[in-house]
């Protein structure tokens, strides 16, 4: 019952927020959802922080269920191809930065260059989205 109430509240809040923003920001919301989901999953796998037990994995499962609703509202703002690539690019950049700065992961020079290209692609999609909505 509590999950149902949470779902309804989340749905109404996201409906209000997403109806007032453009496709790039919907991609950002989707990516932030990924960051939290991946961060919790990584913490459980390492058994560090407050997320040491496997039961914490229910949070990413619920968050991924909500991705469908967020993606649906994003489709009201932009095309599926643009929304998906924007979401993936922003998610890849943010998750990589969390991996490096929070979890201490290392990347080589080639991957650093690839991350830079992803950042440039996000900017280009944002510019194109504001010029050709």
Q: How confident is the model at residue 121 (pLDDT cuts 50, 70, 90)?
A: confident
For residues 28-36, average pLDDT: 94
- Per residue, what are the HEC states of 61-125? HHHHHHHHHHHHHHCCCCCHHHHHHHHHHHHHHHHHHHHHHCCCCCCCHHHHHHHHHHHHHHHHH
pTM metric for this prediction: 0.72
- Dihedral sign computed on CA atoms, order 78, 8, 88, 36: positive
Average pLDDT over residues 32-47: 94
Distances from the Cα of 64 to the Cαs of 2, 17, 56, 61, 110, in angstroms?
18, 18, 14, 5, 30
% of the chain exceeding 90 in pLDDT: 41
**How much is the average pLDDT of 106-131?**
82
């Amino acid at each position: 019952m509590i999950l149902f109430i949470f779902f309804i509240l989340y749905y109404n809040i996201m409906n209000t927020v997403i109806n007032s923003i453009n496709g790039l920001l919907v991609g950002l919301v989707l990516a932030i959802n990924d960051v939290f989901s991946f961060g919790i999953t990584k913490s459980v796998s390492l058994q560090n922080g407050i997320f040491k037990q496997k039961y914490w994995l229910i949070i990413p499962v619920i968050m991924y269920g909500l991705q469908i609703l967020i993606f649906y509202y994003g489709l009201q703002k932009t095309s599926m191809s643009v929304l998906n690539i924007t979401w993936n690019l922003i998610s890849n950049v943010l998750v990589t930065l969390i991996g490096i700065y929070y979890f201490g992961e290392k990347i080589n020079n080639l991957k650093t260059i690839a991350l830079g290209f992803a950042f440039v692609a996000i900017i280009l999609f944002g510019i194109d989205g504001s010029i050709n909505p």
